[in-house]
Each structure stands twice: as structure tokens, then as C-alpha cells.
Amino acid sequence: MDFDPSNYFQFQYVSALFSLLIFIFWFGYWSLHLIAIIYGSRKLHRKVKCNVEADSLPGVSIIKPLVGVDSNLISNLTTFFFLNYPKYEILFCVHDASDSSLPIVRSLVEKYPHVPAKVFIGGTTVGLNPKINNMMPGYVAAQYQLILISDSGLRMKKEALLDMVMSMREDTAVVTQLPFTYDRKGFAAMLEKVYFGTAHARIYLTAHALGIVCSTGMSSLLRKSVLEEAGGIQAFGKYIAEDYFFAKNAKSKGWKCAISSLPALQNSGICSVTHFHDRLTRWARLRFAMLPYTVVLEPLQECILLGALTMPAASYIFGWNCAIFFLAHVFCWLFLDCVLLSIVQGYCVTCGQMRLLFAWLYRELSASSVFVRAAWNQTIHWRTATFRLRWGGVAELVQS
């Protein structure tokens, strides 16, 4: 076969172009690290300031959907009875009368009568989303125009509710807490802390800095009037990721979405590596269904894969040593992640801590497997049912 120079030069051109595009993406992604660090350092763990008289603060209805118990449920729920806020109510929504959380909730309501609290049992079926069905009676009974939807696995600092309310400006309809974790023992707990303080925080903070919709529903303060204009929370019952669509609806109406100064402290008594991976897989499937382009983009946001792809590109364009480039890439990424984790944590975290280093490395190496599992099928098991996700985030019930 005769050698065709045109084919060779065409191959060289395509290789150079492809390498250049990868390198530009790699170079540009570092800006996300910097945006998250700068925005997080300016936004998080600021001293909570109340600019109005306590009597002028709006009331807040806290809706707590509950299904089952874990070892930390009592201590988590107790923190909500001691918030430094003058006017709020707690609306506990229990899945059914046989739920094991019901006696605990009733005992807490009786033990702390100084906080108005009600217990609703059974929910109301308005769609496929079991969380919305569970919350419906509490939502209907809420007497205040600010609604805080708060998951059962969260602890709440005393000043956190005031912090969220003060972040609710006149032009804001959704205020969320940056998802993070309460200090717990064990490798799985460290793994969760590393993920929520680095990879998740990087995207969450950057999105809010750029005004992009990126909201999680584990701790969301919402304007009830904005929800009512959309038909109430029941209008979002066909979605599993109702938190994202709450924010998307508000954004489409011209409202802003914000984050508060204090992160959300996840403190579930169920903490294992398997449970952690199952959560990430479920969330990835939700994102893939709502935003299909994330199937390609999300894996490219991970340190190991992005470094491995950019390594030959940098060698092809600049002649750099692949091994040295990859190691420099990983160490720089680790350093910036430690900086961001320190900002989210509220105090300095050093990269030299072996448990932290091992958890970070394990998280990065296992990230690709999560995406493979998520992309393999669009069926998720959540709360009491199994769902199949459709494009656009709409769900259909497979098994209840």
C-alpha cells in the first residue's frame, strides 16, 4: 500500500486539534477551583447579623418528612427545638402509623412544649414523589409564608435558621444550605466529608457564584407564595428531584436562589461506604435524566480521569513528561481541595492527615465506577418505592 502524505497530515491535524481542545478544557476547569474557593471564603461561616427587630422577623414553618429511624434521629431532631429564632413551628410528617419514628416524634413534641409542633401521619398522594406525598399535610397546614424543608438526617446549629432567613432577600425565593457533614468517626464518615467538602462543594459554590440553578433539598428555605403560583408542592410530584425543580421554577419567574452562610450538617446514623456509593449513584442518575449532557461532562470533572486524558495531550502539544505532568496535576488538585475543605469546614484542614489523604484518594479512584453504575440504567430505589427516570427528570413508578 502506497503511503499517502495527505492522510498522515490529516491525522496529525486532528490529533493536534483534539489535544488542544482537551488541554483548553483542563486549563479552564482550574477556574472552577478558584471560583469556589473565592466565593466560599466570602460566603461561608460569616457572623450571622440580624438587621431587624426580632419581632419583625417572618415566621417559618419547618417541615420534617420522616421515614424510619436511625441511631442519631433523636439528637438530630432535638436540635430543631433549640433554634435561636423567635417565631417558628415544626411540622413532622410521618410516612404511616406503623413507622418507627412516630413514638420518637411524639415524645419530643411532649418534652419540648415551648416550640409549636404538630405531627401528621400518612401523607396525601398527589404524585409519584413519596417525599412530597409525605409532606403534603404539613405543607397545607403551614401557617407561615416561609417554608423550611429539612431532612431528618440533619443537625441544626442554633443560629442556622436566622442565618437562612437573613439570606432570604426581597428578590430571593430559595435559600439552601451547602450540603456538608457533622463530625463523625469512621472511614465512611471521612469519605462523606471529603466528597461534600471538595467535589460537591466545588460545583455547588461555583454554580451559585455564576447564578446557575444548583439546589439540593435537604435544607431548603422557600417562599410559599412562589410555590403557590406554580400550583403548590403537589405540582412537582411527578419529579423525584423536586428540590432542583423548586429552584428552576423560581429562577424562571425572575427570583434569585442563594445559599446561607452555615452549611447543612448531615448526621445520619446510617453511614457506610456502600450507602455512600448508593446515594451518589442515585443522584447521578437523577442528574443524567434532568440534564443529559452531564453524562459526558461530569466524569470529566474528576481529578484522575481528567488528568489521564490531559496527560497525553500535554505531551503531544508541549512535549512534557507524562508522569511528571500527571503527578503535578494530582498534587495541585489535592492542595486546592484541602483549601476548599478547610473553607467549608470552617477551620484549617491539612493535606498530610493520612485518613483524609486516603479518603480523598479512594473517592477520586472510585468516582468513575459511580458514573458507570449510574449510566447503566435509569432505575432508582428511593424511600419506599422503585422508579424509572425519563428524560427531563420525570419519573414513573416501577414498584411500590
Question: How far apart (Å, rounded) are the C-alpha atoms in residues 288 and 272?
Answer: 24
Least Cα distance to 249 among 272, 223, 273, 268 occurs for 223
Nearest residue to 384 via CA among 88, 134, 60:
134
Q: Looking at residue 198, what DSSP letter applies? A: T
Q: What is the pLDDT of residue 34?
A: 97
Residues 209-245: tens digit of each pLDDT: 999 988 887 999 999 999 999 999 999 998 888 999 9
CA atoms of 180 and 260, how far apart (whole Å): 13
- Choice among 151, 163, 243, 337 that is catalytic: 243
Q: Quote the cell numbers at residue 223.
A: 417562599
**Phi and psi (nearest 5°) for 67?**
-140, 110
Q: Exposed/middle/buried for 251, CB within 10 Å: 0-12, 13-18, 19+?
A: middle
C-alpha angle 242-246-247 in degrees, rounded to nearest 5? 125
DSSP classification of residue 153: T
Nearest to 194 by CA among 353, 69, 367, 356: 356
Q: Is-catalytic flag, 243? A: yes
Residue whose entry in the numeric block shows the C-alpha cell 421515614: 67
CATH topology of domain 54-177+218-269: Spore Coat Polysaccharide Biosynthesis Protein SpsA; Chain A (3.90.550)
Please tell me the distance from the alpha carbon of residue 27 to that of residue 202, in angstroms, as a whole number: 16
What is the percent of the chain where pLDDT is above 90?
Answer: 71
pLDDT digits (tens, 9 = 90+) for 360-382: 999 999 998 998 888 887 788 77
Residue-range domain boundaries for the chain: 15-44+186-210+272-382, 54-177+218-269
